[in-house]
Amino acid sequence: MSQDSRFIVLTGVSRGLGRALLEELIERGHVVAGCARSAERIRELSERYHPNHPLDTVDVANFADVESWAERIIAERGAPDLLINNAAIINRNNPLWEVPVDEFSDLMDVNIKGMFHVTRAFLPSMITAGQGIVVNLSSGWGRSTSADVAPYCATKWAVEGMTQSLAHELPSGMAAIPLNPGIIDTEMLRSCFGDGANCYPGPESWANKAADCVLSLSSRDNGRPLTV
């Protein structure tokens, strides 16, 4: 392993941007601990990457599960150098007054509370280590708005606010950064754009640029809203 190899925790690795970034970071020689809910996809990835890269079935909305995952990962590998909160869901396109109550609640649980849970579980070890970068996946819809995705917009504006507040709190030498990935053809994009998602690049070409971006971040970027 090269001296520049970093230990990275990444949520939402089963498909889309998280999966492509997992593969790109591993390809570049970094060690990645990842999670998602889909047991089948995690099993497939584990067959490829175990034991060097621990991949686990964890629902970020469940703090008890996140906490025991983090305790085990930190005990085995130490504090992460880079914590990337990528896992998220989007509401089915609907005007706000037609969004099912449970669906709205799920978005808050995963996109906001899930990000908090993972940060709550891993960040103290990074602070003790005196270094580390937290990257929270935001969205164009964390800085602008559109019809039919109000719950999702609400969560991504929350991500921007939570991350920039956290940036004020971190000790010097660390950073928290809200990162808009751009527009990429994934299952999430297909949910809101339908076939229009075809016009956008796929996750694999995105992952190359995204890896350059996240690996170049430093404490100088603390609190800066960035875009891949």
Ligand X SMILES: NC(=O)c1ccc[n+]([C@@H]2O[C@H](COP(=O)([O-])OP(=O)(O)OC[C@H]3O[C@@H](n4cnc5c(N)ncnc54)[C@H](OP(=O)(O)O)[C@@H]3O)[C@@H](O)[C@H]2O)c1
Residues at the interface with ligand X (CB under 6 A): 11-18, 35-38, 41, 59-61, 86-89, 110, 114, 137, 139-140, 181, 183-184, 186-189
User: Which residue type is seen at 92?
Assistant: R
Q: Pick the closer one to ligand X by CB: 18 or 132.
A: 18
152 is catalytic: yes
Q: Pick the closer one to ligand X by CB: 174 or 184.
A: 184
CB of 90 to ligand X, least distance (A): 7
Structure tokens at 3: 């001296």
Q: Pick the closer one to ligand X by CB: 80 or 181.
A: 181
CA distances from 175 to 127, 134, 168, 213, 218 (A): 11, 6, 9, 14, 7
Which residues have C-beta within 8 Å of that of residue 180, sequence separation ≥ 6? 138, 139, 140, 142, 143, 225, 226, 227, 228
CB of 10 to ligand X, least distance (A): 10
Q: Pick the closer one to ligand X by CB: 15 or 172.
A: 15
Q: Which of 58, 152, 162, 210 is catalytic?
A: 152
CB of 29 to ligand X, least distance (A): 23
CB of 227 to ligand X, least distance (A): 10
Greatest Cα pair distance, the chain, in angstroms, is: 53
Evaluate whether 31 touches 53 at the Cβ level (below 8 Å): yes
Evaluate whether 136 touches 85 at the Cβ level (below 8 Å): yes
SS3 label, residue 170: coil
Q: Which residues are catalytic?
A: 152
